[in-house]
Amino acid sequence: MLLLLYKPWGASKDKALSVMSKVADAFLNLPAMRVGKMDTAKNHIDAARFPNVDEYAAEPRVFLLAGAAVHEFTGPLAQGDILKFVAKNVPAVKAAWATKVKPRLAELKEAADAAKRRAREAKEKEEQAHAAEKKRLDDLAGERRLCYS
């Protein structure tokens, strides 16, 4: 299990939650891999299990729980870095990387690209409609000036 510990007042909490959501999406096809999050302001932290976690610290922390072992992720909170960390420390993820994780990442990238493309097309369409309406109003104003000249 990959676990995000965060405080609700942390400056980078939203980014960490977003990244972990993407990581969870990447592991969708791996039933043995779970991703969780825990608001440490509302839940007790076992200091023996999570050493060096200050109960008042606001920065998010990511841990990999594998049986009794706890591995802390110490890199930047980025999807790619976290995925590499998990693949390095979980043999089942490393074994399924090419057949399950990589294809899922390709699906997610394709979906994100399609969403960006749709948003760009909608913006272009809106800009064209705005330009057409502006031209119509300018033409109408020009006709009115001719009538009163």
Average pLDDT over residues 121-127: 96
Query: Rounded to 5 degrees, what are φ and ψ at 35?
Result: -125, 130
- pLDDT averaged over the chain? 89
Q: What is the DSSP string of 118-141?
A: HHHHHHHHHHHHHHHHHHHHHHHH
Q: What is the 3-state secondary structure (H, E, C) of 6-39?
A: ECCCCCCHHHHHHHHHHHHHHCCCCCCCCEEEEE
| pLDDT value of residue 42 | 84
Name the residue type at position 59: E
The model's pTM is 0.75
